[in-house]
């Protein structure tokens, strides 16, 4: 008798565990030079200290305690508001973090482009929401084979145009797809927003196009409230009410009654307005099928010290809890030409800078003592240097400066292997990213 196939969770865990077998070498910046040749697992087992264990600067550190706090907090939030949760994995592209998010109750993982879907599938993710219209014929050919080979694989993507539907249908028919691809019609967040059908009439035309082909199955509606132009709470809530109303209109029109559908998907949710999503999704009326209320926020996993620190819904509703910034970039002072100016060896190649400059938080001296970086300000970034404005005596050459980062979506992509660090500096693991 053949052995039972391992459960999806077991397959995911096994795939993630294999990351520990990768060899350390020059590909991974900031790791100790004397660790070359060790596996990631062997280096993690040594539990080296970030500051005394041979790491070179600059080095990005992810707080183990704060990461766990953020994972648990969003699990509690989604449960409290009766939301399914598919965090946007393009924030980190880290299978170890996918696994931890799924272990914390996530329904699946949201992604943006075909490469990211392939990464997630390589690590056993069984439910994927692609927040984009997929019209790449090569990617659709791969997707068709993946769906046909694994009946347990659930995949949903946007459609927002009649032409997009036609392109998808042609590619899937050419690929000989046996399973239809589940799609949700994307409602744009307004004129001047990013993607999505602009009007409800446009959405209905897209839905009609889906119904006319056999390679796609309409399963719901979706969008991204973070693209509402000149967003205010009132405007975001108003757009979310349009999205909910669109789902209701489609249901009344019988658009969800074909293809053996057992639930209707209504999805939204970035990292700035998920409180509004929770509010409006709580009022979704009873439809002809159960509703999967799918939230997709992703930046919470590491949070930040800039953009989302000011926008997070937890600031608006503090009784819900508070996310904690989990990244710190450590750079070393390599030049101090004047009392008012210094330079560290971290720049655009190392730090997120698309929205806000890093913020100097702490100075660590050669003797291991630390002091707040109150007299240090980051004023600019070159490719490999950070420009600091300082007061006399604030820093000296050789000091390490701990920097808080803004916008985690462009922090993970600069580092392929990120030390996971406990509060005392002990490195317990290394987070592998795939960008």
Burial of residue 10, with CB atoms counted within 10 A of its CB: 0-12 exposed, 13-18 middle, 19 or more buried: exposed
| CATH topology (fold) of 327-404 | Lyase, Ornithine Decarboxylase; Chain A, domain 1 (2.40.37)
Q: Per-residue confidence at 4, pLDDT binned at 50, 70, 90?
A: low
Q: Could you give the percent of the chain with pLDDT greater than 70?
A: 99
Kindly state the average pLDDT of the residues 12-41: 96
Among candidates 29, 57, 53, which has minimal Cα distance to 43? 53
**Which uninterrupted H or E stretch holds 205?**
helix 200-211
Task: Please report, for residues 107, 183, 218, 255, 297, the alpha-carbon distance to residue 221 in angstroms, rounded to integers and kept in the order given.
Answer: 17, 8, 9, 11, 17
Q: How far apart are CA 250 and CA 254, in angstroms?
A: 6
- Is the pLDDT assigned to residue 344 strictly greater than 90? yes
pTM: 0.95
- Is the pLDDT assigned to residue 5 strictly greater than 90? no
Q: Per-residue confidence at 2, pLDDT binned at 50, 70, 90?
A: very low
Kindly state the average pLDDT of the residues 348-367: 94
**What mean pLDDT, rounded, does the chain reach?**
95
Quick one: angle between helices 95-103 and 114-122, nearest 10? 70
Kindly state the average pLDDT of the residues 187-215: 96
8-state DSSP, 57:
S
Range from 26-35, 162-171, 189-198 carrying the lowest mean pLDDT: 189-198
In the chain, where are the structural domains located?
Answer: 66-304, 327-404
pLDDT tens digits, one per residue of 121-177: 999 999 999 999 999 999 999 999 999 999 999 999 999 999 999 999 999 999 999
| CATH topology (fold) of 66-304 | TIM Barrel (3.20.20)
């Amino acid at each position: 008798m053949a052995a039972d196939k391992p459960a999806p969770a077991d397959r995911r865990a096994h795939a993630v565990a294999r990351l520990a077998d990768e060899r350390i070498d020059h590909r991974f910046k900031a790791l100790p030079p004397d660790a070359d040749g060790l596996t990631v697992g062997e280096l993690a087992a040594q539990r080296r200290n970030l500051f005394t264990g041979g790491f070179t600067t600059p080095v990005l550190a992810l707080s183990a305690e704060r990461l766990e706090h953020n994972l648990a907090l969003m699990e509690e939030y989604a449960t409290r508001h009766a939301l399914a949760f598919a965090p946007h994995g393009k924030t980190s592209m880290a299978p170890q973090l996918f696994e931890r998010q799924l272990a914390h109750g996530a329904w699946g993982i949201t992604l943006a482009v075909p490469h990211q879907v392939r990464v997630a599938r390589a690590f056993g993710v069984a439910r994927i929401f692609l927040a984009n219209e997929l019209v790449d014929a090569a990617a659709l050919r791969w997707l068709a084979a993946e769906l046909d080979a694994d009946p347990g694989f659930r995949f949903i993507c946007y459609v927002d145009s009649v032409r997009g539907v036609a392109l998808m249908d042609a590619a899937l028919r050419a690929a000989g797809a046996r399973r239809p691809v589940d799609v949700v019609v994307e409602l744009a967040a307004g004129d001047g927003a990013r993607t999505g059908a602009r009007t409800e009439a446009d959405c209905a035309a897209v839905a009609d196009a889906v119904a006319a082909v056999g390679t796609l199955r309409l399963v719901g509606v979706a969008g991204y409230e973070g693209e509402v132009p000149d967003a205010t709470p009132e405007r975001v809530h108003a757009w979310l009410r349009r999205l909910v109303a669109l789902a209701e209109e489609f249901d009344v029109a019988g658009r969800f009654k074909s293809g053996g559908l057992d639930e209707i998907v209504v999805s939204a949710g970035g990292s700035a307005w998920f409180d509004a999503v929770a509010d409006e999704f709580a009022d979704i009326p009873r439809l002809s099928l159960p509703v999967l209320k799918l939230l997709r926020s992703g930046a919470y996993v590491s949070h930040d010290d800039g953009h989302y620190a000011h926008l997070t819904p937890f600031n608006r509703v503090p009784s819900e809890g508070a996310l904690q910034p989990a990244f710190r970039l450590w750079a070393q002072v390599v030049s101090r030409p004047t009392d008012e100016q210094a330079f560290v060896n971290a720049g655009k190649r190392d730090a997120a800078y698309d929205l806000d400059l890093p913020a100097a938080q702490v100075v660590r001296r050669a003797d291991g003592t630390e002091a707040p970086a109150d007299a240090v300000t980051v004023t600019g970034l070159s490719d490999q240097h950070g420009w600091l404005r300082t007061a006399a005596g604030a820093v000296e050459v050789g000091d390490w400066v701990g920097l808080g980062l803004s916008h985690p979506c462009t922090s993970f992509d600069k580092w392929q292997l990120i030390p996971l660090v406990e509060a005392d500096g002990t490195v317990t693991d290394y987070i592998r990213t795939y960008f």
